[in-house]
Structure 1
Amino acid sequence: MEHQDIIEIGQLLAKYAVSITRNDIDSLLEVFTPDGTYSAFGEVYPLAEFPALVEAAPKGLFMTATPLLDINGDEATGVQNLCFVEDATHHMRIGYYNDTYVRTEDGWRLRTRAMTFIRKSGAHDSGRPHSHAR
């Protein structure tokens, strides 16, 4: 595993967290490949639907941990813990992302990102259906 790859993927994921916290959709979309997807709420959303999904979601602070990465040439997988704090209430949601990455001409990008929520019961699931209209 190349040290530079670890740094670059880490910065990519930092851009994701900062961009979504600041509601900067253009920067957020830049971290994905054009065919990238986001999975949550029992659905897989193509990149074209991601802005509407983010718009419908609560706003707040996305705090992410250092990802656990498995890099194999120009592809990689990873898991990254998340703590989301809603701005209006300071209620928290916790969980983790399961990711796939690919090295592109523009550097590493997310190909897939799948959210798993950790419930108070200890259950791990993809969440309740979102208010995003498909």
Structure 2
Amino acid sequence: MTTDETTADLVEIQQLLARYAVTITRGDLDGLLAVFTPDGSYSAFGDTYPLAEFPALVAAAPKGLFLTGTPAVELSGDTATGTQPLCFVEHTTHEMRIGYYNDTYVRTADGWRLRTRAMTFIRRSGAHDSGRPHAFGRPAV
């Protein structure tokens, strides 16, 4: 892979992650779903949620600003992994939550997409965890 190809891939992934932050901040569910592969998933709160459950998950989540930092990305052909810092500011109280996402990405016919995104919260105690289990209830299957 040439330096130009590597740079183009990194910029495309950074733009993908910017779209994630902007669409979720704006409440644009269609835009948010578009940054994932159809088999994509999000992990937090002690569980993993497939893309089909995103509408309910997003509806139940607090609203506010998703402020993300530049991701650290490791490219490997048509796949990649990365970590991206996050500061979430709740819109009514301006209370913050901080942490980071651990991601996997895949190059698709439509460009780079998130395959998995896992949230890790950083607590005031200094602990790093994925949140309270069952913070989001989903129907029993």
The TM-score bracket by the shorter chain reads over 0.9
- Among 127, 131, 138, the residue aligned to 1:133: 138
Gapped runs of 5+ residues in structure 2? none
Q: Which runs of 4+ in 1 moved over 6 A?
A: none
CA shift for structure 1 position 31: 0.2
CA shift for structure 1 position 25: 0.2
Aligned pair 1:70/2:74, yes or no?
A: yes
Separation in 1 of the partners of 2:103 and 2:119? Answer: 9
CA shift for structure 1 position 130: 1.9
Q: Residue type matched to 1:104 in 2?
A: T
Q: TM-score, normalised by structure 2?
A: 0.93
Q: May I ask how many residue pairs the two structures share in their alignment? A: 134
Is the contact made by 1:10 and 1:66 (CA closer than 8 Å) also made in structure 2?
A: yes
- Matched residue SS, 2:86: strand
Q: Residue type matched to 1:117 in 2?
A: F
Percent identity (aligned): 72
Q: Residue type matched to 2:138 in 1?
A: A
Separation in 2 of the partners of 1:130 and 1:8? Answer: 33
Separation in 1 of the partners of 2:8 and 2:135? Answer: 37
Aligned pair 1:5/2:9, yes or no?
A: yes
- Matched residue SS, 2:43: strand
Q: Residue type matched to 2:44 in 1?
A: A
Separation in 1 of the partners of 2:7 and 2:95? Answer: 36
Residue 25 of structure 2 corresponds to which residue in structure 1?
A: 21
Separation in 2 of the partners of 1:4 and 1:130? Answer: 38
Is the contact made by 2:29 and 2:55 (CA closer than 8 Å) also made in structure 1?
A: yes
Is the contact made by 1:83 and 1:93 (CA closer than 8 Å) also made in structure 2?
A: yes
Aligned pair 1:110/2:114, yes or no?
A: yes
Separation in 2 of the partners of 1:106 and 1:131? Answer: 31
Larger gyration radius, structure 1 or structure 2: 2
Separation in 2 of the partners of 1:106 and 1:130? Answer: 33
- Matched residue SS, 2:131: coil
Residue 95 of structure 1 corresponds to which residue in structure 2?
A: 99
CA shift for structure 1 position 86: 0.1
